[in-house]
Structure 1
Amino acid sequence: MPVLCRPAVAVPEHVVTLDDTLELAVELHPDHEQLDLVVQLIRNTGVRTRHIVQPIEDTLHHPGFETRNLIYVREAKARVPAVVEQALANAGLPPAEIDAIVFVSCTGFTMPPLTSWMINDLGFRCDTRQIPIAQLGCAAGGAAIGRAHDFCLAHPGTNVLVVACEFCSLCYQPSDTTVGNLLSNGLFGDAIAAAVVAGEGGTGFSLERNGTRLVLDTEDWIAYAVKDTGFHFLLDKRVPGTMEQLAPALHDMAARYGWDCSALDFYIVHAGGPRILDDLSRFLGVDPARFAYSRATLTDYGNIASAVVLDALRRYFDDGAAFDGARGLLAGFGPGITAEMTLGSWTTDTRSEPEPGRAERQRPRPPAHMMRAT
């Protein structure tokens, strides 16, 4: 089975605390008729710190959509390489052994996708498949893992790199004073995460089944309004309630595999907010403590969109609680309303050394003049 190896995660150096956020809400919107509600909602997020790619004074200034997107590209190219390098090292693979890259982001846009830049500049083969996903929002982390799983099943022995690059702070809209937008100003953070899905060997989450579920007639509950000033985040107050509709989908997928979704050994789920985790706990019949890794991501980094599931999985690795055969669920939730779900079990690679020369024997390398040094 393909194995999702240890993720690498990085957050920017600029930190915004809960106190900072609350002070800014009061300072920037003193006459807002629902300010007390906004302040309470931000407190209830459970977010204590967030990291952003620019100092707060620059973040609060909106230089225009074009400039913001240029900042996105600049910061991605500056920060992605180190995270990718660490993810590859975690899997014990060089760039030349990666057969596909799934790149997910909902906070900036480029064409060609940033996978093209990665192949040109980071040493990947020129025949590496490119799978960019730009419109699934927070669910894209789960979708990326599912599509990497599918690729490895369709092409046995191949390896896929998953990269999530989210700079949510670049979507700050100072003129948008709706309650949902002001809440998002205190909820979302920036992060980059990457991990390898190894087709052979590897220690980590062995991917065994994946699926998706769309809650009908909810496509406007989480959305972007694309305006001259960029992406305006739309968040409906009914969103947390969708866990009552999505929990049965998780139960059904596990049941088809002969597993009980209420009795798994670990859970890695998208931490969109505490209410989502609380409701999922209730409707799955799972102790809330089982979502500790997701809650820790939310507390330390905020909602980092598609990168959440990779960071929560990193925390599970770091905790050292995993054991061979442990059964788990990974799920991302986002616009649609969509759930992207994967079931699997923990596995440890007992091989002492990877087989030498495997990449050269199994896959043709491009001409030397088309390769970059790693």
Structure 2
Amino acid sequence: MTIAIVGAGLGGLALARVLHVKGIEAVVHEREQARHARGQGGMLDIHSGQRALREAGLMDEFHAIARGAGQDMRLLQPDGTLLLQEDTPDDAPLLRPEVDRADLRDMLLDSLPEHTVRWGHAYESADNGVLRFANGSSARYDLLVGADGAGSRVRALLTDARPAHIGQNVVELGIPDIDRTHPDLAAMVGRGNYWVLGNGISLGAQRNGDGRVRIGVSFYNTGEDWFTTSGIPLDDPAATRARLIDLLADWDPRITALITACDDTIVPRAITTLPVGLTWPQAPDTTLLGDAAHLMPPVGEGANMALLDGALLATALAAHPDDFPTAIGEYEREMFDRTSTAARMSADMQELLMSPNAAQRMLDFFQPG
């Protein structure tokens, strides 16, 4: 029987890999034309998702690309006050290591047989066991898995739920090769994550494995139209940097110097989520995983849940290879329970970040009592 996975993100690839390990083949249909057709984002904090990588037989490969030093963290207030600094010993266990999303995706892709992923196949529709793609081709399936991310089109086969804006808009920038180009800023950021939490605004700087520091300036309690009303000229990188610094006028200039040092790659992101605890009536031949099923605030759980979804769905399918409805039911019951808990925790963390006293509350979170 044919298992069709729509989407070659982390969850879909984890599903394909664990199925392969268990002797079951699947086909992954991906709309991108090739694996490096677009950037894959920054670093990921992989903790619970390591269980999926063990199921996939890829822990050695994972340890080869994981960065233990990425677990370091610095927490500051906008006036430059350092509230918390955590430095990871070199011999510390890799409990929550950082890894480049692109490296993790490449690792999963490299673990699959050739031609498992069919590039350039953008999903258009599905019914009666037939997938149709934007390029005019089609493919049959006995089981369809929507692993097509936040903007999932497969999701509509199971639920009317759509992502909703949560009052956060982010401007992403970056400093290339920071150790060489700005060693003073490199020392300030450190080896891992650097967080500055203000009243309604935060700045996060994150080391990537390629030497780039990825910076996100988040504006909370803002509307969906914020990018059109904020006065940020996103088509002019220099003016965008200047406007961001204006919006952070009362911040320590050592912090805003990070923005001045950024290159011209600027990406606006409006943050959306699906309802916490989303479920749907079970279908006999279709299910979802990852952001297609449970899009959460970007606070460290989404990639881990997607990896686990893929591994646990594969385990259920291997246990019931001739009974997809039973496998789907087993998988979805566990997935709904696990991810609703993670979504509630993520929503609580999002509420903290949006609060007026976010820095102190975050310090209390890491140092209770």
Which bracket does the TM-score occupy, shorter chain normalised? under 0.3
Q: Which structure has more RCO (C-alpha within 8 Å, separation ≥ 6)? A: 1
Structure with the bigger percentage of helix: 1
Normalised to the residue count of structure 1, the TM-score between the two structures is: 0.24
